[in-house]
Amino acid sequence: MQEGLFTLAKLDDFVPADHPLRAIHGVVNEALTGLNGLFNAICAETGRASIAPEKLLRAMLIQVFFSVRNERQLMEQVRYNLLFRWFIGSAALTMLDTVPGAHRKTVAADKGYDTRDFIAGCRKRGMTPHVASHTTRRGGSAVDGRTARHAGYAASHIVRKRIEEHFGWAKTVGRLRQTMYRGLQRVDQQRRVTRVLQTSSVEIDSQAFVNSARIA
């Protein structure tokens, strides 16, 4: 391998210092920071984590600035256009900026977040990145041994998986994968009933575990 043919750089390194989007980027950052309180108020506290509103607004600005015809083309271009990816930024890091408290924190994530930029962004914010190692990709994992060797690293991934178990239960047992009902009101009622049943099931399983532990 000829190492001179390869280079490692951040997205910011590919954007010229005098590019017009840099000035706009700063203005947008300032405006979105002022809207953090509003975003926190309108976003639901339960359910699967959605795309951050800040990231969606940045993507819409890109679509307007560069006259991208539709959202499908926008998503396609964001995959390979480094300028677009730089401007939109990482929604995950934006969400981490809103976590309160100055104490040391950990953040668990799947292997899709195993990138040097994300790991560095977590450490810069004083957070320990418990990101699943993506060891099969070219270049290896960005998670080093000093993080993965601790017991807390494995514990974080066990806890992180629990949220997926809830969605899996709702889709299979609750039949929400392909509902038989039509109309928003009926589907919402099915969702509510499924949530109640799921909560009751978890409580019953927890009580059964406690009873079995007492017998043992």
Domain total of the chain: 3
Cβ burial of 158 (10 Å; 0-12, 13-18, 19+) is exposed
In a domain, 53, yes or no: yes
Which domain covers residue 145, as residue numbers? 101-162
To the nearest 10°, report the CA torsion of 55, 61, 64, 70: 0
Beta bridge partners of 105: 127
Q: Which of 124, 125, 114, 51 is nearest to 88 (CA)?
A: 51
Q: Is residue 119 included in any domain, yes or no?
A: yes
Confidence category of residue 62, pLDDT binned at 50, 70, 90: very high
Cα Rg, the chain, nearest whole Å: 22
Domain for residue 136, yes or no? yes
Q: Is residue 92 domain-shared with residue 106, that is, in the same domain?
A: no
Do residues 26 and 44 share a domain? yes
Are residues 71 and 121 both part of a single domain? no
Of the chain, the percentage scoring pLDDT greater than 90 comes to: 7
E strand or H helix at 11: none
pTM of the model: 0.48
**Statement to judge: residues 90 and 113 lie in one domain:** no
- Given 64, 81, 98, which residue is the final one in a domain? 98
pLDDT at 5: 44
Residue 171, amino acid: K
User: Looking at the predicted structure, is the pLDDT value of residue 203 above 80?
Assistant: no
In a domain, 2, yes or no: no
| pLDDT of residue 97 exceeding 70 | yes
CB atoms within 10 A of CB 96: 19
